[in-house]
Amino acid sequence: MQLPTILTLIALLTGSLGSLASAAQTQSKTQVKASTDDAIVEMSQAFKQGDRKRLTALLPQARGHALEPWAAYWELRARLDVASASEVQGFFSRFAGTYQEDRLRNDWLLVLGQRRDWAGFAAELPHYRMNDDREVRCYALGLDTTRPVDEVAPDVKRQWYAQKEADDGCTQTAGQLYAAKKLTDSDVWRKARLAMENNRPRAARQAAEIISAEAGKPLDDISNSPGRFLAKRVGAIGRNAKEWVVLALIRLASTEPEAAASLLENHWSVHLMPEQRSWAWGVIGKQSAQKLSDTANEHFAKARDSELSDEHLGWKVRAAMRFARWKDVLAATLAMSPEARQEPTWVYWRARALLQLAKTEADRAEATRLFESIAGVRGFYEQLALDELGQRVTAPPRPDALTEQEKDAARQNPGLQRGLYAIQIGLRSDGVREWNYSANLHQRGGMSDRELLAAADLACSREVWDRCINTSERTKTVFDFQQRFPMPFKDAVLARAKQIGLDPAYVYGLIRQESRFVMDAQSSVGAAGLMQVMPPTARWTAKKIGLTDFKPHQITDRDTNIAIGTGYLKLVLDDFTGSMPMAAAAYNAGPSRPRSWRGTSGGPTLEAAIWAENIPFAETRDYVKKVLSNTTNYAALITGQPQSLKSRLGLVGPRGAGAPEVATDLP
């Protein structure tokens, strides 16, 4: 054998051995990476279980991992109550600038506040970037010496009233201001009322105890049996006793509004002060309106608008719309707080009321001005305002294309990368939080619109569609319609929609709201997949559409989930004679509820927008409006033609006497 041939063989053999060694090293690295990923996931589970020992034991395996900041956070957070200040400061230094640093600082500030370590709290507060925790804000307001106390008190009330759960920070600061006579009895009782209305008796008790240390016993009696509490009282002497009565009426109205109305009308009205009566009638009116009771307007009529909360006034508007009481609609929207009056919902209905009541050209001009102030493609009422102005929904022009430099900046953002990594290995909630933080607080004041578009583009390119959509939705001055309304799985969705006679825009509008196109999305109640189908519904629908070999594990398979979800949507749409709003409500809340919400024979036939706004469940009300708004935008994209939301809504009225439902066995 010639020498070159021998050398060639040696070279080939050496190369093969090198390739094998390289492959072995790659496999080893992959195994190590998988192992450390598993350790991170196990630490996440241990954190949720409160297993401190397991967290400490696993932490060494996370050293050097991309998600080490999360691992270190979970381990220290689990024992933060016993951690030393130096340990905490060491964490801040090591993970400076990360979401985890700011998250732990939030937690540490709460610990310092609970310990009343105001010097430590004041030293740490300036470094806190997130600034979205109401309890921390309340502690901080209690320490604010840069403003007069009279200026601080309104900020404390805003935070306290918005905090639904019981807490230490806002309650402590409110108590401090009450002792300094900067909050009144009325301020404190308002908090107790709001808490009781939201079924938070512990928060109501915390508030009441600021005024009366003996509040525990009556609050327990009111929470357990408000009717019995009211029956035992013959009269009310003094402000505190009267407020116990108001809280009991609030509690009773949550389940029996007409019983509460009878007690208020026939006995307690004469014992209460005018403002207390108004509030009680506002609560009773709200609860009656949520039951779609014809008596709601009567109850609201006994209250003064100026003494009602924005929530009461919102339900007064809804109840009045059902019976075309446009003067009440206008009066209630005008009585709302400045913040509430600016919400597109109430701007739209105020404008509609002005049109209905218009006597002069100035009235009509004001209505037009209000419609113009919100008109656009961003949401349900913005699109309806376009309709009122004789305009249609069209896809706006795309912004200038992102440059490679802009895209590269997003790719190099460590918080965005960690967020994507966490989502990739199954830690979706953690990844979402870090992604959102990075998109909001990458810089002071948040990302610019162009940076948000680049971050959204990164998520789109990785097919993390929920972050793509949510990030793109944060832009203010630019609007990338295609980015906000992507169409993954387009061939599969369009083919299936055409096969069963569904509007593909409606399917996309629903999927976008249900799962944001997350394939393995799983709700807290067990709904799964792109179209968030419940297992019993999946089994029932599979039989109806002929999927005889359906197995439960297939529910998250893309094509199976689309087939079952669209099949069920078509069945409920047919059941409600083609009404998209009612079918969307049925998809979210089950068919029996929208059947009852449509009213009984002889009731009013309503614009679907009025019907949707009167849906008692906040989640379903929001869901229906968003699905129909999404649908209109997707239709503009798919067809390339201007679209009208109003034309998709139609009317909703009671089912005619004796008229059967199309599919009475719908689950």
CA distances (Å), origin 378, targets 103, 394, 500: 31, 11, 30
Q: What is the mean pLDDT of residues 595-623?
A: 92
Task: Indicate the helix (H) or strand (E) that contains 36.
Answer: helix 3-49
Read off the pLDDT band of 492 (50, 70, 90).
very high
Instruction: Looking at the structure, tell me whether residues 463 and 578 fall in a common domain.
Output: no
Instruction: Looking at the structure, tell me whether residues 604 and 637 fall in a common domain.
Output: yes
Question: What pLDDT, on the 0 to 100 scale, is given for residue 21?
Answer: 46
Q: How far apart are CA 204 and CA 197, in angstroms?
A: 9
Rounded to 5 degrees, what angle do the CA atoms 328, 597, 164 make? 70
625 belongs to a structural domain? yes
Read off the pLDDT band of 216 (50, 70, 90).
confident
Q: How far apart are CA 300 and CA 319, in angstroms?
A: 9
Instruction: Looking at the structure, tell me whether residues 474 and 618 fall in a common domain.
Output: no
Q: How far apart are CA 205 and CA 244, in angstroms?
A: 11
Q: How far apart are CA 38 and CA 383, in angstroms?
A: 47
Number of domains in the chain: 3
535 belongs to a structural domain? yes
pLDDT higher than threshold 70 for residue 124: yes
391 belongs to a structural domain? no
> What's the token pair of residue 174?
């409110």
User: What are the start-end ranges of the H helices in 144-184?
Assistant: 149-162, 169-179
Boundary-marking domain end, from 479, 505, 520: 479
Instruction: Looking at the structure, tell me whether residues 500 and 474 fall in a common domain.
Output: no
CA distances (Å), origin 646, targets 90, 239, 386: 58, 50, 10
Read off the pLDDT band of 524 (50, 70, 90).
confident
Q: How far apart are CA 179 and CA 408, in angstroms?
A: 55
Read off the pLDDT band of 225 (50, 70, 90).
very high
Instruction: Looking at the structure, tell me whether residues 517 and 420 fall in a common domain.
Output: no
Instruction: Looking at the structure, tell me whether residues 473 and 506 fall in a common domain.
Output: no
Q: What is the mean pLDDT of residues 424-445?
A: 86
pLDDT in tens, 601-611: 667 899 999 99
pLDDT higher than threshold 90 for residue 441: no
pLDDT in tens, 249-300: 999 999 999 999 999 999 999 999 999 999 999 999 999 999 999 999 999 9
Read off the pLDDT band of 526 (50, 70, 90).
confident
Q: How far apart are CA 182 and CA 176, in angstroms?
A: 9
Question: What pLDDT, on the 0 to 100 scale, is given for residue 14?
Answer: 46
547, 632 Cβ separation under 8 angstroms: no
Q: How far apart are CA 583 and CA 578, in angstroms?
A: 8
pLDDT higher than threshold 60 for residue 9: no
Question: Who wins on pLDDT, 610 or 12?
Answer: 610
> What's the token pair of residue 153?
């008190």
Q: Which of 395, 386, 381 is nearest to 626 (CA)?
A: 381
Question: What pLDDT, on the 0 to 100 scale, is given for residue 522?
Answer: 83
Residue 170: CB atoms within 10 Å? 29
Q: What is the mean pLDDT of residues 511-532?
A: 91
Question: What pLDDT, on the 0 to 100 scale, is given for residue 662?
Answer: 47
Question: What pLDDT, on the 0 to 100 scale, is given for residue 88?
Answer: 98
Q: What is the mean pLDDT of residues 190-215?
A: 94
Q: What is the mean pLDDT of residues 471-476?
A: 95
DSSP code of residue 256: -
Q: How far apart are CA 336 and CA 376, in angstroms?
A: 24
Question: Who wins on pLDDT, 454 or 235?
Answer: 454
Q: Which of 414, 560, 477, 481 is nearest to 66 (CA)?
A: 414
Read off the pLDDT band of 6 (50, 70, 90).
very low
Instruction: Looking at the structure, tell me whether residues 500 and 592 fall in a common domain.
Output: yes
Question: What pLDDT, on the 0 to 100 scale, is given for residue 152?
Answer: 96
Instruction: Looking at the structure, tell me whether residues 606 and 506 fall in a common domain.
Output: yes
246 belongs to a structural domain? yes
Instruction: Looking at the structure, tell me whether residues 566 and 618 fall in a common domain.
Output: yes
Q: How far apart are CA 150 and CA 157, in angstroms?
A: 12
pLDDT higher than threshold 90 for residue 34: no
Question: Who wins on pLDDT, 215 or 155?
Answer: 155
Per-chain mean pLDDT for the chain: 92
Q: Which residues pair with 393 in a beta bridge?
A: 643
Instruction: Looking at the structure, tell me whether residues 519 and 632 fall in a common domain.
Output: yes
Question: What pLDDT, on the 0 to 100 scale, is given for residue 659?
Answer: 44
465 belongs to a structural domain? yes
- Report the SS3 class of residue 399: coil
DSSP per position, 598-609: T--TTS--EEHH
Q: How far apart are CA 130 and CA 437, in angstroms?
A: 8
- Report the SS3 class of residue 78: helix
CATH of the domain at 526: 1.10.530.10
**Residue located via tokens 């009343």:** 116
Q: Which residues pair with 607 in a beta bridge?
A: 651
Instruction: Looking at the structure, tell me whether residues 208 and 248 fall in a common domain.
Output: yes
pLDDT higher than threshold 50 for residue 17: no
384, 607 Cβ separation under 8 angstroms: no
371 belongs to a structural domain? no
pLDDT higher than threshold 90 for residue 12: no
Read off the pLDDT band of 660 (50, 70, 90).
very low
Question: What pLDDT, on the 0 to 100 scale, is given for residue 10?
Answer: 40
* Residues of the chain above pLDDT 90, percent: 84
pLDDT higher than threshold 90 for residue 158: yes
**Residue located via tokens 């034309």:** 647
DSSP code of residue 660: P
pLDDT higher than threshold 70 for residue 15: no
Boundary-marking domain end, from 303, 326, 361: 303
pLDDT higher than threshold 80 for residue 30: no
Rounded-to-5 percentages of helix, strand, coil across the chain? 70, 0, 30
Boundary-marking domain end, from 252, 275, 303: 303
Question: What pLDDT, on the 0 to 100 scale, is given for residue 603?
Answer: 78
106, 136 Cβ separation under 8 angstroms: yes
pLDDT higher than threshold 90 for residue 204: yes
Instruction: Looking at the structure, tell me whether residues 504 and 614 fall in a common domain.
Output: yes
Q: How far apart are CA 602 and CA 274, in angstroms?
A: 36
Q: How far apart are CA 514 and CA 449, in angstroms?
A: 26
6 belongs to a structural domain? no
365 belongs to a structural domain? no
Q: How far apart are CA 544 and CA 561, in angstroms?
A: 14
CB contact set of 137 (below 8 Å; sequence gap of 6+): 131, 159, 169
Question: What pLDDT, on the 0 to 100 scale, is given for residue 445?
Answer: 67
**Residue located via tokens 């083919």:** 495
Q: How far apart are CA 377 and CA 392, in angstroms?
A: 9
Residue ranges making up the domain that contains 603: 490-652
